[in-house]
Structure 1
Amino acid sequence: MPTRRRRQESHEKGMPQTGPSLLAGVSLPAAAILEAPLAHNLAWMQRFADSHRARLAPHGKTTMAPALFRRQLEAGAWGITLATATQCRAAFVHGVERLLLANQLVGAANMAIVAELIEAGADFYCVVDSEANVAELGRFFAARGQDLKVLIELGVPGGRAGCRTHEQAFELARVIAVEPALRLAGIEGYEGVVHGDDPERRIRDYAARLVEVAQTLHRAGLVEVSEPLITASGSAWYDLIAEAFDTAGLREQFTPVLRPGCYVTHDHGIYREAQRGVLARRVDLRKGLRPALEVFAQVQSLPEPGLAIVALGKRDIGTDRMPEPLRRYREGGRAGEALDVTGWEVTRLMDQHAFVRLPRGADDLRIGDIVAFGTSHPCLTFDKWRRLCLVDERLDVKEVMETLF
């Protein structure tokens, strides 16, 4: 079985620089970002954040693509959120100066990376949820004569990381206050770990808890920076978080920061469904996010009636849901000549093969036909590609975007 590096190199070797069409001259399968939906999504989410007087720090782990980071910042983003120290370093090297690590910073090697970033001028934040981590960070950064801005993470029982109670968060703030190298810069949470019946109510309650804890810490004089943050929001419930943060009393004390990541390309699966919920709750919003990420692959075998084998597999596209056939083209054809895929269903994925059940009447299908597939959860498709094609409405390649996974 080929290694991940060899697989990535094989994708890269077939990738054009710019110019050709996905329908002719590009080695498939290939991941494509549609130019117009991408531009729409960048502007849409920035307008949403601005309308709630919140800052936008998109989660960069979704794409790990510097070209997309740059577009997000140019559209007005306040910074970029990352998940690991090495991701932070990669983003900083490519021009991202404000970094929010939405994770605990643990391990001397990771702390050393962050120390280098701070020394180089990065505006850096990370989260904490334990006295042990606070003590380690305090020792490490004090020894280097550096200040580290930390956010207390508020979690939920049965969830991921984070203090479970208000009392734990308050006591942790008191511990941070006696560490000379640490500065409490606010509070952080992630509502995506809130589950159970009536999720909307539960998430509203969680957002209210974040606000309450933040204000308690502020009243106690434990917040140690002039512009502290209150931050949460994934890509499904950002409207509820923005609503909770959009209060005059809170904004006078804290800067609200929203952190959705998947909005940049959206999807044809779980986030399309989540967006329907947003638009149902917010009838004032118009023209919601548009799917911008597709994977193009070719039919390679028609071994029996009603079955097509497409050269697309788990190594090419996310698999938390089966890919959705969207359109079909003749190789060498034009974008405006899409053929029907109604009734097509991907029933099984192997490493590099998709089993597609065909409806009756799919008699015009040919070996070599090109199929565009929609994805669910874009994070799990981006990380399979070293390069992605940015294409226009004609499916001509306008730019090749590198990733840093």
Structure 2
Amino acid sequence: MAERHDAVDVIRVKRDGGTLTDDQIDWVVDAYTRGVVADEQMSSLAMAILQRGMSRAEIARWTRAMIETGERLDFSSLSRPTADKHSTGGVGDKITLPLAPLVAACGVAVPQLSGRGLGHTGGTLDKLESIPGWRAALSNEEMLAQLEDVGAVVCAAGSGLAPADKKLYALRDVTGTVEAIPLIASSIMSKKIAEGTGVLVLDVKVGTGAFMKDLDQALELARTMVDLGTDAGVVTSALLTDMSTPLGRGIGNGLEVSESVDVLAGGGPADVVELTLALAREMLAGAGVTDVDPADALKDGRAMDAWRRMIAAQGGDPDAPMPDAPHVEEVRAERDGVITRMDALGVGVAAWRLGAGRARKEDPVQASAGVFLHKVVGDEVKAGDVIMTLHTETEDRMPRGLAALAEACDGAGTVDVTPGGSVERSIILDSVGAHTR
């Protein structure tokens, strides 16, 4: 069958700053998925998109074309509305774990299709697999049944959702085009729109430990994704949240599960509770549920009940203790003062090197590895106080974890202890989008 376009012509249009037609976009995405457009040609087009950008209409069409390469899920048979959350990833970002059962306890179903960690950012599925017996792979039928019965599911996205994205994502990773905002936005939103949720709340991280280091860039990405969701008929909004320091105190798979359970039990670190409640309220508002305060569901145990049912439904034991790491080392304050800086990237890389993350998709991860923060930004310390504890199952990883803490990205050190003074941290920096129903 003769192809209706030529890849080189499409590349030239974008290289020269032109606008791709709907038909060109539909063809090039489909042809790349079929193997007609070669990797080197799509690499060239991705670089042209990175350098030249795309209009709102082009990004919307590109996203739609990626969705059309696969299946769409349909949750219209459920007895309650659906809402989902997507985070762009960060250090200690375990929010999905308490958030999904919390929103379910308030009457809105949460179909959370999640992924695995790569590099210094953790993956939700890796965290939950710290729980003995828990399984990530569910069929569409199992997912629907659990959403109706429990109200929340966290599982792996099937290969049928936007297969073009899986192929293009791997290519961008090795061609220096990961940073292209049109391609980031369409990658995230093609899967989320295909997933079929009625409401989507985006948690766009900004800061040293986030993919987006710059507030303006993060705002552009948030606005682009909100526009894409809105154009596709999904009630979409975004919060920009701080990732200059780690979120919570536990960074690492089992450590983050334990902290999430603490939140569901009515405790946990204040910053994790604050962000969980903010996102829950945003999801509930999008679904039209305005007469329920999720803070009440944390206090009265309903969220914990939903968590236990969600874990058990996927084969996990909600009563199983998290594994303890056999090798632990403490990092102590060298002088009296106040912690004024704790670099998220440095702490995230340390947890990764200790075994909590992976360098390649096929690498295994350790359930008990990571970093626990005994002190956080704003805390007073005395010389000799334990600031953090490093955990690993592999003793020879410990020096590399300690080295990561000593060589945070800007060379200023991962933890700054300043005599006197105090520091406040803002979790929510901005919000984008409005609920229109």
Q: TM-score range by the shorter chain?
A: under 0.3
Mark the structure with the bigger radius of gyration: 1
Structure having the larger proportion of residues in strand: 1
TM-score, length-normalised on structure 2?
0.25
Identify the structure with the greater helix proportion. 2
